[in-house]
A and B are shown apart, each in its own frame.
Chain A
Amino acid sequence: MVERRRLGNIVPHLVLWIGIAIVAFPVYLAFVASTYDATTIANGQMGLAPGPLFLENYYRAIFVGTSRSTREPVGTMMLNSFVMAMGIAVGKIAISILSAYAIVYFKFPFRMTAFWIIFITLMLPVEVRIYPTYKIVADLGLLDTYAGLIVPLIASATGTLLFRQFFMTIPDELVEASKIDGAGFFRFFKDTVLPLSITTMAALFVIQFIYGWNQYLWPLLITTKDSMQTIVIGIKKMIVTQDALTEWQLAMATAVLAMLPPVAVVILMQRLFVKGLVETEK
């Protein structure tokens, strides 16, 4: 630090703690609401300290579900979200590491064409082509299936670009050495490239898991059955326009449950998360 002032050191801490408090407040309030009963919340009598119904509300949310709006317990929704997020993360890593390997380590006609075909998809988020994509998934009979939730979202340029960038940093000598040892493309991939890519894979996994878990528009369109809806969709359906019908305590318990897995992933795998965030944006 350039200047040493006693007060100067307190102010930044204070500002940061106020910032943290403001950022955390909506979540804290959701947690508090998830421990009260519906009437207290509806009458606006909820305080700032947690209420007595923590176990009861969470039990009802996870195993029973709301009585009116979603008809499906949150446990099922979480399972759907988990399958979707895992499918997207693992699928993306698998197909993009293979395509990046082909583009970097092979010489073949239309190599650059293939690269550009993939690259351009970076510019087409699902939001701009929802209805035609929906129609294709419907024609393929994939509505209300995990495949329909996962497959259309696993192709994107991000992963391929990330792995390509990483492969370019692997020294050429390694390929030459393993070629001298008589290794083919498969053995080089399995013994050298894959072990070296683990950090990159993990970083991509963190980002894509969050991306998959938080999907909204896509599952909203292609799931019609209650048993297939994800937790993020379920929450939205619990908020009914007529106030009296919304079971806020369960909606808030669901919100807390919906935040828990991705937030835990970010906090527990912080370094990978930051690495993934910085690298996927390039």
Chain B
Amino acid sequence: MQKRAVFGSRIVPYALLAPQLAITLVFFYWPASQAVWQSFHLEDAFGLSTEFVGFENYVHLFSQPEYYRAMWTTLVFSTAVTVLSLSVALYLAVMADKQLRAAATYKTLLMWPYAVAPAVAGVLWLFMFQPSLGLVARGLRLWGLDWNPLLNGTHAMTLVVLAATWKQISYNFLFFLAGLQAIPKSLIEASAIDGAGPTRRFWTIIFPLLSPTTFFLIVVNVVYVFFDTFGIIDAVTGGGPAKATETLVYKVYSDGRLGGDLGGSAAQSVILMFIVIALTAIQFRYIERKVTY
């Protein structure tokens, strides 16, 4: 990973690295270690003294039904968004791949939601589904559905899933389309000559060849749902109603800020760090495999 010819200097490389390392140490390593430290300590209500409590924060955390509930919420949320946005994006990408000449136009028209802030996406969907004035909500009412995401947990979850999916389709679409366009046309033609219809060709040739892209996207989507949807949840439901949309990340935020439970919040942060590290490790193993694929 280094060049044959390099510059020799004692001070220069450190000077070049200094800004990045300084910021990294101050804003990454120091807070991360603080989180670990806090997770083993208990702070009194006034923040005057701290006491070492070992794993008590963790034990307490895992004894709370709310924590398991947040885990379950996160699982439901991330599965729903990943499955929905991947399938819609794949379907659209397959359609766009058929029209090579127009594919570029469709790409432009479908990729811009990536640039919309999660919180703004949340507000857009909230507006459509707002029980008293939202256009779609009024339609649902006419159909006899008592739609109210402010009171009904399932409705609230549906709404955040829709907003999060809407924002993620563009990203998945771009990667699926690139993956599809990389599949050699000769393979498809060969199987068409062998008499395989479009559906059969898709499931036996195209879909397996896309599996590296799909797998990569699954990991990226899960990471997205875990961390980048904070804005959507905060803007649409604020974790409610009755914590029905409180994910793990949202719980770190609300326990630390609203609840003032820094130790518990820190313990949750540490667990989240392990989850992220695991996800990143999976992602990197996949990339190694892609090279030899």
A interface with B by C-beta (< 8 Å): 1-3, 8-9, 11-13, 15-16, 19-20, 23-24, 26-27, 29-30, 33, 41-44, 46, 94-96, 98-99, 101-108, 111, 114, 117-118, 121-125, 127-133, 135-136, 151-152, 154-155, 160, 164, 167-168, 172, 175-176, 179, 184-185, 188, 210, 213-214, 216-217, 220-221, 232-233, 235-236, 239, 243, 248, 251-252, 255, 258-259, 262-263, 265-267, 270, 273-274, 277-278, 281-282
Q: Are B280 and A123 in contact (CB under 8 A)?
A: yes
Q: Are A214 and B262 in contact (CB under 8 A)?
A: no
How many angstroms from the CA of A160 to the CA of B20 in the assembled complex? 9
Query: For B4, what are the chain A residues with a Cβ–Cβ distance below 8 Å?
Result: 172, 176
How many angstroms from the CA of A276 to the CA of B79 in the assembled complex? 27
Q: Are A136 and B31 in contact (CB under 8 A)?
A: yes
Query: For A105, what are the chain B residues with a Cβ–Cβ distance below 8 Å?
Result: 3, 6-7
How many angstroms from the CA of A188 to the CA of B24 in the assembled complex? 27
Q: Which of A43, A101, A102, A184 contacts B133 (CB 8 A)?
A: A43
Query: For A136, what are the chain B residues with a Cβ–Cβ distance below 8 Å?
Result: 26-27, 30-31, 34
Q: Which of A16, A27, A127, A155 contacts B106 (CB 8 A)?
A: A16
B102 touches A (CB below 8 Å): yes
A-B contact pairs, 19 of them (CB 8 A): A15-B95, A23-B109, A23-B110, A30-B124, A118-B24, A124-B276, A125-B227, A128-B227, A128-B272, A129-B32, A130-B256, A132-B266, A152-B23, A168-B3, A172-B4, A210-B115, A235-B235, A255-B123, A274-B174
Given known pairs A130-B252, A132-B30, the reply for A217 and B230 (CB within 8 Å) is: yes
Given known pairs A105-B7, A266-B111, the reply for A214 and B117 (CB within 8 Å) is: yes
Instruction: Report the stretch among B9-17, B51-59, B65-73 that lies at the interface.
Output: B9-17
Q: Are A258 and B117 in contact (CB under 8 A)?
A: yes
B155 touches A (CB below 8 Å): no
Q: Are B27 and A172 in contact (CB under 8 A)?
A: no
Interface size on B, residues (CB 8 A): 99
Query: What is the 8 Å Cβ interface bit string for chain B, positions 5-48, against chain A (1 contact, 0 not)?
Result: 11111101110110111011111111110110010000000000
B287 touches A (CB below 8 Å): yes
Chain A residue at minimal CB-CB distance from B88: A19
Query: For A160, what are the chain B residues with a Cβ–Cβ distance below 8 Å?
Result: 20
Q: Are A259 and B120 in contact (CB under 8 A)?
A: yes
Which residues B138-181 have CB closer than 8 A to chain A?
Answer: 138, 166, 169-171, 174-175, 178
Which residue, A44, A167, A233, has most C-beta atoms of chain B within 10 A?
A44
Q: Are B114 and A266 in contact (CB under 8 A)?
A: yes
How many angstroms from the CA of A125 to the CA of B32 in the assembled complex? 10
Q: Are A265 and B92 in contact (CB under 8 A)?
A: no
How many angstroms from the CA of A119 to the CA of B181 in the assembled complex? 32
Q: Are B92 and A3 in contact (CB under 8 A)?
A: no
Chain B nearest CB from A218 CB (Å) reads 10
Q: Are B123 and A104 in contact (CB under 8 A)?
A: no
B1 touches A (CB below 8 Å): yes
How many angstroms from the CA of A92 to the CA of B257 in the assembled complex? 29
Chain A nearest CB from B279 CB (Å) reads 8
Which residues B214-258 have CB closer than 8 A to chain A?
Answer: 216, 220, 227, 230-231, 234-235, 249, 252-253, 256-257
How many angstroms from the CA of A167 to the CA of B6 in the assembled complex? 12
Given known pairs A12-B96, A108-B14, the reply for A114 and B110 (CB within 8 Å) is: no
Q: Are A248 and B133 in contact (CB under 8 A)?
A: yes
Query: For B12, what are the chain A residues with a Cβ–Cβ distance below 8 Å?
Result: 102, 106, 185
How many angstroms from the CA of A27 to the CA of B112 in the assembled complex? 11
How many angstroms from the CA of A123 to the CA of B134 in the assembled complex? 39
Query: For A188, what are the chain B residues with a Cβ–Cβ distance below 8 Å?
Result: 7
Q: Are A118 and B21 in contact (CB under 8 A)?
A: yes
Given known pairs A130-B253, A132-B266, A232-B117, the reply for A267 and B108 (CB within 8 Å) is: yes
Q: Are A98 and B115 in contact (CB under 8 A)?
A: no
Q: Are B32 and A23 in contact (CB under 8 A)?
A: no
Query: For A131, what are the chain B residues with a Cβ–Cβ distance below 8 Å?
Result: 35, 256-257, 262, 265-266, 269
